[in-house]
Chain A
Amino acid sequence: MAVLGIESSAHTFGVGVIENGKVLANFKSMYKISDKGLVPSKVADFHSRNGKRAIEAALKKSGIDISDIKGIGYTKGPGIGSCLRTGQLAAKSISLAYSIPIFPVNHALAHVEITKHICGAKNPIALYVSGGNSQILALAENPYKHYYVLGETFDIGVGNMIDVFARAAKLKPAWGSTVARIAESGKYIQMPYTVKGMDFTFTGLLTHAVKQIGSRKIEDISFSIQETAFAMLCEATERALLLTRKKELILCGGVAQSVRLRSMLGGMCSSHNAKLHFAPDEFNADNGAMIAFVAEKMMQSGMRFSIEDADTDQHYRIDKVRVGW
């Protein structure tokens, strides 16, 4: 009962194969980011050229023939419209050609669910941090089972903030790890810090940091923007942890690869006897396995979608998704 999953919300065209929750393949084809960042049309073009090869590579790795695939999932959103549509088109074609059910998957939900599965977390809250998103989530039962957004960014995602700062400072991609490396020898300078309960904003911090470029050492600005942003995430998450009285936190999304963020959250969790979980990096970065994983869950819980319902939605919020398992 293998399920194929296609992820194409941003610069990664990822294809994963899952069988009963076991990852058989997790192949990625990545658009190389230039100094200009992501140009949607170019990334979509890259995906449509390389998609077929990525699907073949994942199937080969899994050792499963395409005729034995029982379901196909793809990222419905949130993400870049033109990129989402390349994955959607590939999934629709496979669904029609092999007469297998198709599953539109929420990208954020996929990050949370695969991390929860791999780490064996029972009843966690989740901090989902990536380029475009930064949310604190918990499962809620009413009016139906779904992920409730306890807190989130009011403006931009934390990853995007660091990327924009790094581009302004003319640093080389991949920006997140470049800023983290430069920050290692930095000292703290005061930065704007904005947390409203469990919500937060990053644009004030970004503007201030960008204005410091040239007058302060780049090491110090990098250190301070990163520490301030992560401290804000820590505080909001800490409040959510205490409010929900849960004892587990899962960290997921692209920024979950940050060693510094993990260590800060680890410190916060241990001060409340809570446990921090995070998955290996291949699942924190965008990947197809997580999409296949959720598609399999959807299939096993009896959900079905017509080919007309297999649409994309750039603004597909996680709290709109019914969790049927």
Chain B
Amino acid sequence: MVKTPKKISEGAEADIYESKLFGTRCIIKQRRCKSYIPKELDESLRERRTRTEARAIIRAAHAGIPVPRLLMVGVDSIWMGAIKGDTFQGKKEIPQNAQRVFGELLGKLHNADISHGDFTKANLMSDKTGKIFVIDFGLANITDSYEEKALDLLLLKRSLGKDFGGAIKAYKKTAVSYIEVCARLSEIELRGRYQERTMAAEKDEE
């Protein structure tokens, strides 16, 4: 029934395995035990994050967002249906229509009160038909906080660079609270430690 899992990659907190469950390819995300931090902290982090991740995936699926199929959840492991395709990591240019879909997907996530936590092109994946999936909800949170939503937008902006234009346009059309989130984004961008406050200075002159 279950094929022996094969490790395919290592993340900062989890190992990713590939296996088969009832004949279909699946991906197992196993949060690694960290022997160098206190056991109580390690266990609570792994349990809490696994639970939140599973909840966020289900919630996103209910909101009609293409996400990996959730098959099984353990204390510190998640079994998901594998998606055949590639992420946008390493793609130099993102086509206009993909930019638009990125913005729409983030808008839909935020409308469902999900902040992704790591919404970059490394976590957006396109399958053979061109359908775009959101993956890795490992840092996701279920929240209505504008701050967390703005952080998602900031990460996408940093990840896309000049290709952010199409995404933010689509985000504004989709996200209900885009005004508040965008306002918070400009605030966050001025907040960095010891950053030059050029943008604030420009505002003062207006």
User: Which residues does A use to contact B, with CB under 8 Å?
Assistant: 78, 152-155, 188, 190, 193, 196-197, 227-228, 230-231, 234-235, 238-239, 242, 263-264, 266-268, 271-272, 315, 317
B48 smallest CB distance to A (angstroms): 9
A196 to B119, CA, bound (A): 12
In the assembled complex, which residues on chain B have CB atoms less than 8 Å from the CB atom of A266?
36
In the assembled complex, which residues on chain B have CB atoms less than 8 Å from the CB atom of A239?
12
In the assembled complex, which residues on chain A have CB atoms less than 8 Å from the CB atom of B117?
196-197
B72 at the interface (CB under 8 A from A): no
> B38 to A268, Cβ gap below 8 A?
no
B186 at the interface (CB under 8 A from A): no
Q: A235-B13, A242-B12 are in contact. Are A227 and B37 (CB under 8 A)?
A: yes
In the assembled complex, which residues on chain B have CB atoms less than 8 Å from the CB atom of A238?
12-13
B71 at the interface (CB under 8 A from A): no
B151 at the interface (CB under 8 A from A): yes
User: Which residues does B use to contact A, with CB under 8 Å?
Assistant: 10-13, 32, 34-41, 44-45, 117-118, 139, 151, 155, 191, 193-195
**In the complex, what residue of chain A is closest to B48 when comparing beta carbons?**
A193
> B35 to A267, Cβ gap below 8 A?
yes
> B194 to A242, Cβ gap below 8 A?
no
30 intermolecular pairs with C-beta atoms under 8 Å apart: A78-B194, A152-B193, A153-B193, A154-B193, A155-B193, A188-B39, A190-B41, A190-B44, A193-B45, A196-B117, A196-B151, A197-B139, A227-B38, A231-B34, A238-B12, A238-B13, A239-B12, A242-B10, A242-B11, A263-B36, A264-B36, A264-B37, A267-B34, A267-B36, A268-B34, A271-B32, A272-B10, A315-B194, A317-B194, A317-B195
**In the complex, what residue of chain A is closest to B120 when comparing beta carbons?**
A197
In the assembled complex, which residues on chain B have CB atoms less than 8 Å from the CB atom of A242?
10-12
* Cβ-neighbour of A231 out of B11, B37, B195 (below 8 A): B37
Apart from the given pairs A153-B193, A235-B12, 8 other A-B contacts in the complex at a CB distance below 8 Å: A188-B39, A197-B118, A228-B41, A234-B36, A234-B37, A264-B37, A268-B34, A271-B34
A228 to B37, CA, bound (A): 8
In the assembled complex, which residues on chain B have CB atoms less than 8 Å from the CB atom of A234?
34, 36-37
